[in-house]
Amino acid sequence: MSGQSYTPNQALNSQSGRNFKIAIVYAQWHSSYMSVLIEGCKKNLVHFGVEPDNIFLQSVPGSFELISASNHIANSKSFDAIICFGILIKGETAHFEYICQGVTQGISQLNASQKTPIIFGVITAHNEQQVVDRCGGKHGHKGEEAAIAAIEMALLVEKIKAI
């Protein structure tokens, strides 16, 4: 799958997210790359109709804290989707594996237990180049892709509620 990027649902248009409120929760680590993810995400949310005032940004100390913050935000029932951004780069200890596993499982459990879709925008990389490749490089822009996924999932929930 090298070099492939996410293709949005063809039914999306500039009004698809018009009534949605989206929360973006992000870890404070790797701020230069994180700002690229967030800006790409916000740009795409607005492109698909989300009003800038309906985009809520919240930083957390690290990727592990994405779970708690997302849970509290979902419990508020104020948002149509939550996007979680974190960047984890492998170091010399097993810490990377533990955090990757914990964050992945935590966000997965939230998706199974919460009614608000929670989008996994956590980049796990063995080196900095892999992060660059996912922040607008050869593997796409994970921030832009997360925005599309959030709108698609919010639309799905809206569709199911209307049945």
The tens digit of pLDDT for each residue in 45-70 reads: 999 999 999 999 999 999 999 999 99
Indicate the pTM of the whole model.
0.91
The pLDDT value given to residue 1: 36
Residues near 101 by Cβ (< 8 Å), separated by ≥ 6?
Answer: none
> How confident is residue 93, by pLDDT bands cut at 50, 70 and 90?
confident
> How confident is residue 4, by pLDDT bands cut at 50, 70 and 90?
low
Residues near 44 by Cβ (< 8 Å), separated by ≥ 6?
Answer: 143, 144, 147, 148
For the record, the structure tokens of 138 come out as: 């050869």
CATH number of 22-161: 3.40.50.960
Confirm whether 139 is a catalytic residue.
no
Please give the average per-residue pLDDT across 88-109, as a whole number. Answer: 91
Is residue 47 within 8 Å of 13, Cβ to Cβ? Answer: no
For the record, the structure tokens of 155 come out as: 């639309």
Is residue 21 within 8 Å of 56, Cβ to Cβ? Answer: yes
Residue in 30, 95, 126, 139 annotated catalytic: 95
Residue ranges of domains in the chain: 22-161
The pLDDT value given to residue 2: 42
The pLDDT value given to residue 8: 58
Please give the average per-residue pLDDT across 7-24, as a whole number. Answer: 80
Q: What is the pLDDT of residues 106-144, one digit of tens each?
A: 999 999 999 999 999 999 999 999 999 899 889 989 999
